[in-house]
């Protein structure tokens, strides 16, 4: 390391939380981008809202705990926890302000013109008013529960992410009282009103106009029946966010599943980390909320309506207007799978060659078919799989259940600690156990994040192991919107490694050596460091050295310092980092040779790909791990080699080359942690990597 790096390390790092907020800014930019269809812009606004909710539930809550515990640890960037909270608040207020101004001043009017109307109650026509008020009386009113606040009625528990009304009422003596009313989350936030047809378009089609009205406004206009004999003076919306970061004392747990269930229940009562308050709320009510929610003034965010932008997802899902969305894309099913109709056919294909699938450009169906074939093939003896996030509707689990019913030995590691998927995973774990599947919940102190499936099959020449290794979850729904890569192989060395991996996960194996796989927390950090240092050695010996790393996050200080060392040695380093990046590119004498870009677009960039030039003997690894301490040291991760020359050519000279040619979605990171969006010199020279992959997707390459 240079003297400069050792003497002033804070200047070399971007704060993790602030980098994450920069990612939220890039998501918001997609909503602001006029090139995106209108409803897609609305969707990005909803994603921004969901992301910000999670940022407060997890990241801000964690920093707050440090402050409350008087932990004044200085982060690698030189900031202390109070510094981070203050900076995060400043940036968050700016982002919320930009998002709500755009929605209220620009997007709503554009949606109006396009026939999607998000109406205020005051804008309803007489006919619409009649329908909406009838809906209030029949559906809304019966589920409303106003709660008074006085010495006889303590301040009620307010659930996480709930929208509420702070209501001021006055009795006949002129005394004002306070009540709280939860806006029911069992009803649609945006109430759909009967749609109508618009005028005939030039192409002869008739667009439908969709009308919605805000639930809280309907309630606010009809509060009188809830308080007979009292005058409703005012009602002010507010919304709270609670600490949702579950802490598990695994070493003290006798039953991890039961412990997780208890922790999920406790999550509902996490401390309040943010209160979003409508900007009409007067100071006295605000102070009442601050006192009773036990928060500080800095935890209060005074915002214009609507509070909770994530509810806009509902509009996107309910409006079938293909002209206002991205064109429908149908993932391709590689041709060689078309004739794989018999249970054993897919194994014949994998035995002939390694097969690479690039989702969502390639369909996820071959992965499901692989598991179904394994369940039905009489020659299959066993199936082993790791599950992290499988979602609510899980054909992968259905295939495992079928395999168990047919007498296969099925072992599944279900990670119960997958944040916000805990309840879903607990449900699947119970269902699998009841069907006779061997279910384990992972290793104490580690999250199992790797994406691995092994099918053990009896064949004429003995036992063969068929593998699927991937960068993304076994989730058929997210596979349509997340960019990920998976590989089928029956490579013997990898098969032996995966066998050892499952023994490590399900038993007491202390395996410390793998032939081909890099496995965290065993040999992944050391393995990646060796690959980087090999490029450094090439550069020091006058050979051209180049690395391309495509990951979700670059946070780990050790890897950042190693990348700085590589840059100073002359290694060309291209980083494609979708989310957090704590490394500063382009610092003179430190990171001159490092370029960082980020892609945010229609699909969520999720694959992790590690390319090393290796003096012309190119090597590529892929897997589930990012350059973060948690991935390297506190999770079970698998990174695997891609050995087919054709696959390496596709990944390096097709996919990665085009990522770094993108001038439509790409943003280039500056040394200060901000990003500049590239612009194509002309429409004819525009390169959009995701559009390119839709037209030039992988298909299948022979190995």
Residues 359, 449, 606, 647: which is the catalytic one?
449
Helices vs strands, H then E, count in the chain:
22, 27
DSSP assignment, residue 328?
A: P
Residue 529 CB coordination number (10 Å): 14
Instruction: Give dist(CA 92, CA 332) in Å, integer.
Output: 40
CA distance 88 to 595: 26
Contact of 697 with 356, CB cutoff 8 Å: no
Task: List the beta strands (DSSP E) in 81-153.
Answer: 116-119, 146-149
Q: Show the CA angle centred on residue 635, arms to residues 629 and 641, nearest 5°.
A: 90
Does an H or E element contain 505, and which?
Answer: helix 492-506
Report the alpha-carbon distance of residue 90 to residue 461 in Å, rounded: 66
Q: How far apart (Å, rounded) are the C-alpha atoms in residues 210 and 97?
A: 27
Task: Give the Å distances, CA to CA, from 139 to 136, 183, 186, 232.
Answer: 6, 13, 11, 21
CB atoms within 10 A of CB 509: 13
Q: How far apart are CA 134 and CA 628, in angstroms?
A: 54
d(CA 580, CA 308): 24
Of 606, 627, 502, nearest in space to 559 by CA: 627
Residues in the chain: 703
Whole-angstrom CA distances from 126 to 167, 193, 276 are: 27, 13, 32
The beta strands (E) that lie in 516-633 are given as 518-520, 546-551, 572-577, 594-599, 604-605, 608-612, 619-623
Distance CA 499, CA 516 (A): 12
Contact 50, 43 (CB under 8 A): no
Whether residue 278 lies in the annotated active site: no
Residues paired with 516 in a beta bridge: none
Q: What is the CA radius of gyration of the chain?
A: 27
Contact 275, 238 (CB under 8 A): yes
Residues 514, 519, 525, 531, CA torsion sign: positive
What percent of the chain is helix, strand and coil (3-state, nearest 5)?
Answer: 40, 25, 35
Indicate the SS3 state at residue 64. helix
Question: What would the two tokens of residue 651 be?
Answer: 């990944």
Q: In this structure, are strands 380-387 and 451-459 parallel, antiparallel, or unpaired? A: antiparallel
User: Residue 147, CB half-sphere, CA atoms under 13 Å: how many?
Assistant: 15
Q: Of 335, 207, 262, 424, give the one whose Cα is nearest residue 699.
A: 335
Neighbours of 61 (CB within 10 A): 20
**Of 123, 268, 242, 286, the residue nearest 193 (C-alpha):** 123
CB 657 within 8 A of CB 696: no
User: Under DSSP, is residue 585 helix (H, G, I), strand (E, B) or coil?
Assistant: coil
Residue 198 CB: number of other CB atoms within 10 A? 13
Integer Cα distance of 481 and 423 in angstroms: 23
Positions annotated as catalytic residues are 449
């Amino acid at each position: 390391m240079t003297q400069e790096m050792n003497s002033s390390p804070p200047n070399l790092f971007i704060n993790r939380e602030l980098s994450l907020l920069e990612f939220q800014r890039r998501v918001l930019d997609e909503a602001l981008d006029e090139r995106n269809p209108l409803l897609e812009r609305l969707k990005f606004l909803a994603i921004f809202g969901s992301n910000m909710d999670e940022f407060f539930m997890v990241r801000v809550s964690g920093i707050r705990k440090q402050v409350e515990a008087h932990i004044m640890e200085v982060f690698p960037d030189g900031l202390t926890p109070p510094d981070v909270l203050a900076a995060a608040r400043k940036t968050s207020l700016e982002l919320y302000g930009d998002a709500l101004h755009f929605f209220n001043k620009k997007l709503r009017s554009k949606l109006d013109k396009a026939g999607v109307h998000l109406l205020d109650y005051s804008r309803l026509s007489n006919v619409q008013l009649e329908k909406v008020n009838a809906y209030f009386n029949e559906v809304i009113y019966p589920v409303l529960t106003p709660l008074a606040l006085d010495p006889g009625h303590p301040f009620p528990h307010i659930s996480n992410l709930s929208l509420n009304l702070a209501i001021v009422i006055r009795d006949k003596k002129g005394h004002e009282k306070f009540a709280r009313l939860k806006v029911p989350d069992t009803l649609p936030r945006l109430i759909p009103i009967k749609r109508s047809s618009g005028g005939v378009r030039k192409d002869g089609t008739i667009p439908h106009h969709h009308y919605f009205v805000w639930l809280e406004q309907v309630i606010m206009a009809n509060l009188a029946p809830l308080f007979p004999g009292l005058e409703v003076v005012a009602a002010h919306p507010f919304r709270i966010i609670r600490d949702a970061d579950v802490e598990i004392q695994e070493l003290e747990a006798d039953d991890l599943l039961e412990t997780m269930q208890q922790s999920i229940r406790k999550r509902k009562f996490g401390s309040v980390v943010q209160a979003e308050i409508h900007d009409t709320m007067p100071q006295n009510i605000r102070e009442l909320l601050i006192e009773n929610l036990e928060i500080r003034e800095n935890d209060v965010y005074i915002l214009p309506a609507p509070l909770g932008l994530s509810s806009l997802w509902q509009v996107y899902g309910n409006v079938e207007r293909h002209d206002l969305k991205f064109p429908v894309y149908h993932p391709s099913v590689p041709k060689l799978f078309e004739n794989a109709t018999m249970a054993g056919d897919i194994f014949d294909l994998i035995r002939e060659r390694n097969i690479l699938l690039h989702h969502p450009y390639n369909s996820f169906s071959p992965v499901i078919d692989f598991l179904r074939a394994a369940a039905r093939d009489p020659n299959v003896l066993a199936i082993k799989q790791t599950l992290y996030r499988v979602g609510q509707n899980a054909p992968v689990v259905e295939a495992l259940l079928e395999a168990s019913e047919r007498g296969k030995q099925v072992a599944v590691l279900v990670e119960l600690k997958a944040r916000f998927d805990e309840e879903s995973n607990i449900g699947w774990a119970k269902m699998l156990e009841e069907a006779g599947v061997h279910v384990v919940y992972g290793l104490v102190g580690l999250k199992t994040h790797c994406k691995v499936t092994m099918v053990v099959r009896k064949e004429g020449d003995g036992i063969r192991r068929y593998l699927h290794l991937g960068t993304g979850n076994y989730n058929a729904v997210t596979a349509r919107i997340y960019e990920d890569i998976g590989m089928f192989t029956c490579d013997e060395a990898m098969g032996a490694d995966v066998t050892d991996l499952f023994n490590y996960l399900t038993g007491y194996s202390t395996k410390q050596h793998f032939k081909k796989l890099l496995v965290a927390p065993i040999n992944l950090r050391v393995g990646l460091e060796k690959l980087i240092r090999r490029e450094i050695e090439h550069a020091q010996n006058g050979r051209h050295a180049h690395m391309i790393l495509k990951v979700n996050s670059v946070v780990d200080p050790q890897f950042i310092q190693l990348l700085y060392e590589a840059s100073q040695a002359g290694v060309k380093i291209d980083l494609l980092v979708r989310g957090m990046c704590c490394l500063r590119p382009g610092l003179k004498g430190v990171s001159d040779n490092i370029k960082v870009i980020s892609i945010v677009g229609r699909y969520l960039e999720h694959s992790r790909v590690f390319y090393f030039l290796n003096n012309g003997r190119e090597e590529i690894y892929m897997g589930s791990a990012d350059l973060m301490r948690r991935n390297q040291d506190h999770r079970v991760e698998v990174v695997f080699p891609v050995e087919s020359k054709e696959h390496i050519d596709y990944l390096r000279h097709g996919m990665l080359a085009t990522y770094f040619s993108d001038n439509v979605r790409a943003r280039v990171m500056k040394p200060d942690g901000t990003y500049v969006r590239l612009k194509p010199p002309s429409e004819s020279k525009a390169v959009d990597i995701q559009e390119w992959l839709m037209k030039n997707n992988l298909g299948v390459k022979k190995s």
